[in-house]
Amino acid sequence: MTSNEENDDRTDPRVLVVDDDGDIVRIVRFVLREMGITRIESASDGDQALALLTKGHDHFDLIICDWVMPTLSGLDVLIGIRAMNARVPFLMLTAKVSPEAIAAAKKAGVTSYIAKPFTPIELKKKPAS
């Protein structure tokens, strides 16, 4: 788990990136920084993500999460977050794009969905939607 607090301006959104693939985390961080977002934290699996959300670090303005990960899946993370009554925007970033998977994510309260592989332009457009 890493943190980047270069910019302590509270108007800068706080984003949690959850993915077990370090390359994807680096790409997402790069795109977010290009968008001017510097308050970025990451977790490499669902357990770490939920631990961040339940141990006093529960304010995020956006969560970007992979679906297929060790321990808890992205869907499990989403369900856990929604069970805490958190209304934080949740962007699922995954190769799991079957109609059944999309329906399950929507039922669980996903805000938006991006299929892997993705382009930086797709990622830049989605968080605002």
Nearest of 63, 50, 53 to residue 13 by alpha carbon: 63
Rounded Cα–Cα distance for residues 105 and 111 (Å): 9
Q: Cα-flanking dihedrals φ and ψ of residue 94, to 5°?
A: -160, 160
- ∠35-109-115 over CA atoms, to 5°? 55
- Please report the pLDDT score of residue 103 as a whole number: 94
Q: How far is CA 111 from CA 2, 88, 91, in A?
A: 25, 9, 6
Q: Is the pTM of this model over 0.85?
A: yes
Mean pLDDT by 10 residues, the chain (129 residues): 46 91 95 94 94 76 94 94 88 91 95 90 74
Structure tokens at 26: 């680096």
